Amino acid sequence: MVEKLTFTHPLSKYLRVDRLPHIWCEGCGNGIVLNCFIRALDELGANLDELVVVSGIGCIGRIAGYVNVDSFHTTHGRAIAIATGIKLANPRLKVVVISGDGDLFAIGGNHFIHAARRNVNLTVICVNNFNYGMTGGQLGPTTPLDSITTTSPYGNVESPFNLAHLAASSGAVYVARWTAFHIHELTKSIKASLKRRGFTFIEVISPCPELYGRYNKMGRGVDMMNWLKRVSEVRHGCDPAKAEVSSSKIVVGEFVSVDKPTYDQLIYQLMERVKGGSSVEGGG
């Protein structure tokens, strides 16, 4: 008699398995980021009923549909603003934003710098693949100089953002950068960021062999992974301004870790102070 064996992946409870397979291309780093994220949840023993994942539009934006928690796949660029509303309305919830470089830093750049400035208590993970993947490989705010994309066919003439530097100078209390190659370090950083209070930011440099890699002759997924391995240099505590991202060097590590009161702490403290009072009783 042949016994039928069924296996359940130990992490499947973190996923909406009825939504699988996912839409991401072969060689894409998004699945790795999703894997690291749910491993971090598992290792932390996170309460899945008090966790909200918010994403924007783009390839990685679809991650909100795969995680088995309350999740919001928002409009393009607005994930952080919507997450701000969720966190302030119910500070008990752990709110995580996972989105792409175009979504968070081009169309959504304003929300990013202001949420960091306010120190809104959010974990923000940016999957940076140097281009707009969902729409077919266009130039984005992190596309390196001279790169070829479908909207920079003669080479990119725009200077890219250094996301870690931008986050740090805007006020993030925790800033780290890893690549899709650094799965253990990334998982550790996600755990560290989930445990902290305040605006925490993790940049993940991620391969897009189908588009960015193809236009820039970087080979297949495995070649891009080898490239990330080869050019990465771990420098914890590095000044984010000097944490380079280029085709020949990617500085990774934990760059910033400071403590300061969070926006929701301050606003709820203020509320306790004035609660029950009435500035308008008896008049306009």
Partner 1 sequence: MLTGTHFLQGNAACAEGAIAAGCRFFAGYPITPSTEIAERMARRLPEVGGVFIQMEDEIGAIAAVIGASWAGVKAMTATSGPGFSLMQENIGLAAMTETPCVIVDVMRAGPSTGQPTKPSQQDVMQAKWGSHGDYEVIALSPASAQEMFDFTIECFNLAEEYRVPTILLADGFIAHAWERVVIPPPEEIKVVERKGPEAPPGDRLDLVPPMACFGRGYRVHVTGLTHDERGYPQADSVEVQRRLVKRLCDKIRANADRIVKTKAFALDDAEVVVIAYGAPSRPALKAVKMARENGLKAGLLRLITLWPFPEKDVIRLSSHVKAFIVLEMNYGQLVREVERAAKGTAVTLLSKLGEELHTPYEILRALKEVC
Instruction: By CB under 8 A, name the binding residues for partner 1.
Output: 16, 18-19, 48-50, 52, 54, 62, 64-65, 68-75, 77-78, 81-90, 92-93, 110-111, 114, 267, 270-271, 273-281, 283-284
Smallest distance, partner 1 to C-beta of residue 88, A: 5
Pick between residue 148 and residue 166 the one whose CB is nearest to partner 1: 166
Pick between residue 10 and residue 277 the one whose CB is nearest to partner 1: 277
Smallest distance, partner 1 to C-beta of residue 164, A: 21
Pick between residue 71 and residue 142 the one whose CB is nearest to partner 1: 71
The answer to whether residues 115 and 80 touch, using CB atoms and an 8 Å cutoff, is yes
Q: 3 burial class (0-12, 13-18, 19+ CB within 10 angstroms)?
A: exposed
Pick between residue 1 and residue 280 the one whose CB is nearest to partner 1: 280
Ramachandran angles phi, psi of 137, nearest 5°: 90, 50
Pick between residue 110 and residue 159 the one whose CB is nearest to partner 1: 110
Smallest distance, partner 1 to C-beta of residue 132, A: 18
283 Cβ neighbours under 8 A, 6+ residues apart: none
Smallest distance, partner 1 to C-beta of residue 263, A: 8
Distance of CA 260 to the CA centre of its chain: 21
Smallest distance, partner 1 to C-beta of residue 139, A: 22
Smallest distance, partner 1 to C-beta of residue 178, A: 27
Q: 136-172: buried (b, 16+ CB within 10 Å) or exposed (e) per residue?
A: ebbbbbbbeeebbbeebeeebeeebbbbbbbbbbbbb
The answer to whether residues 125 and 36 touch, using CB atoms and an 8 Å cutoff, is no
The answer to whether residues 234 and 252 touch, using CB atoms and an 8 Å cutoff, is yes
Q: Tell which residue, 245, 79, 283, has the closest CA to residue 163.
A: 245
Smallest distance, partner 1 to C-beta of residue 30, A: 16
Pick between residue 85 and residue 155 the one whose CB is nearest to partner 1: 85
The answer to whether residues 36 and 190 touch, using CB atoms and an 8 Å cutoff, is yes
d(CA 263, CA 170): 14
Pick between residue 90 and residue 159 the one whose CB is nearest to partner 1: 90
